Amino acid sequence: MPGNLPDVDFSSWPTPNYVDPEERTWMPAYSITLTVASSIPILIRLFLRSRNEGGGFGLDDLFLVPGWLLNIGFTTVASYASYHNFVTRHVWDTPPLLFEGDALNAWISQILFLLGPGCVKISVLLFYRRIQTGTFNRKWLWCIYGAIWLTIAFTIAFLLALVFNCQPTRAYWKLYDFSWNEEYTCTDTKAINLVAGLISLISDVYAIGLPCFMVQGLKMRRREKISMNAVFLLSLSVVGAGSARTWAFFTFASDSDVTWSGFWVFFYCVLEYNLMLICACAPSLRVFAIRYLHVGGAATMSQEPAAATDDLTSMDPYPQPMHRFRHSDASLFSFPTHRSAEKSRIRVHEHGEDAQLVPSTPTLPKEVYQPDGIRTPKHYEEYVLQVLETSRKSPATSTLTFYGLLVSKR
């Protein structure tokens, strides 16, 4: 039947109670609370992106923002359904004049739930693509692009199935208007709903499992790997909520008390959607906590960190290797000085010679850095050559600087 409703024997219903029926009225408070909770990480992520901290704006953000706005729309629809008693009462306690609005509300909510989580999943997959950018690992890139196109195809296919389920489309809800007498045709959607639920679960598992294998080959600190694995563990809650949502939808499709069982469909859809948004922004929360709340990062840093430009370094809010000034270098003592914007250093020879102000050590392009230092011996050789070139005008300082670098490297 239209509206995903089963065939109903109205004579089997109890006597309706329109005056003081059993009701569940807490859906608006529940859905609005979760939406606010998921909006905070998104706003934090957009704030960091605007300041180019933890990465600049990218395609992943372009899909995340519509997913967030559609979630606000879905929350509005769920709250509206509760406020107008579409899902708060047993179906026999619901006035028949509300049936049409209930079916229309269900149709709109399915549209929003197809488009919104689809955008969020694509955003997460594009985030993984940013992690792999520059690694030239074609295997993972093909897996990511394949998942993106499958998600797009899945979303469009079931969106079209929902739109053309009835001819005309408005028959989906107008059938419950007792004054509507137009001819219509509608298909049975039980098989489509089963396939849609299973594919949605598979896509959730794929989106969570893929990065678990991807990060194993990345050169990251142990702390960063633990943080990412914690995000993946949190993401399992999305799979759990999705499984519960699929079960609730099957119950709804086979239960004659559709308004009562429809409440739980909204309950699990709201939970899954908002958990999905929170997990998508979890890496940005870590960056924000370290940079602005001073939680989980180094206590002191001797150099202002550079902004990250990709999401591999976005997992580390201080992606450039820090230049720590140690007093135990073999042939020189180093003291930081803040008299220059270039963070120059004063080097004093151990034999009491005059102090010399040495310009800051040149750095390599940011793409050759990993969170724990220079990537290859070739890059280190280029680094040392740049140091020698900078210090050429001062032979003594050049020798001491080069020797200090070798000692530090050991």
Q: Taking Cα atoms as reference points, which of 194, 171, 195 lies closest to residue 181?
A: 171
C-alpha to C-alpha distance for 336 and 347, rounded to whole angstroms = 9
The reported pLDDT for the residue numbered 287 is 84
For residue 133, the one-letter residue type is: T
For the entire predicted model, the pTM comes to 0.70
The predicted-structure confidence for 4-56, as pLDDT tens digits, reads as follows 555 666 677 888 898 889 999 999 999 999 999 999 999 999 999 998 887 78
Q: Count the Cβ atoms, other than its own, within 10 Å of residue 101.
A: 17
C-alpha 140 chain-centroid distance: 19
Domains in the chain, please, with CATH? 2-291 (1.20.1070), 332-409 (no CATH)
Q: Which structure tokens are listed for 4?
A: 């995903």
The order of strands in the sheet holding 356-358 is 332-336, 345-349, 356-358
How far lies 13's CA from each of 5, 23, 91, 265, in Å?
15, 17, 9, 22
The predicted-structure confidence for 154-199, as pLDDT tens digits, reads as follows 999 999 999 998 999 999 999 888 889 889 998 877 778 778 888 8
User: Omega of the bond prior to 28 within 30 degrees of 0, cis?
Assistant: no
φ, ψ at 307 (rounded to 5°): -70, 140
C-alpha to C-alpha distance for 281 and 314, rounded to whole angstroms = 12
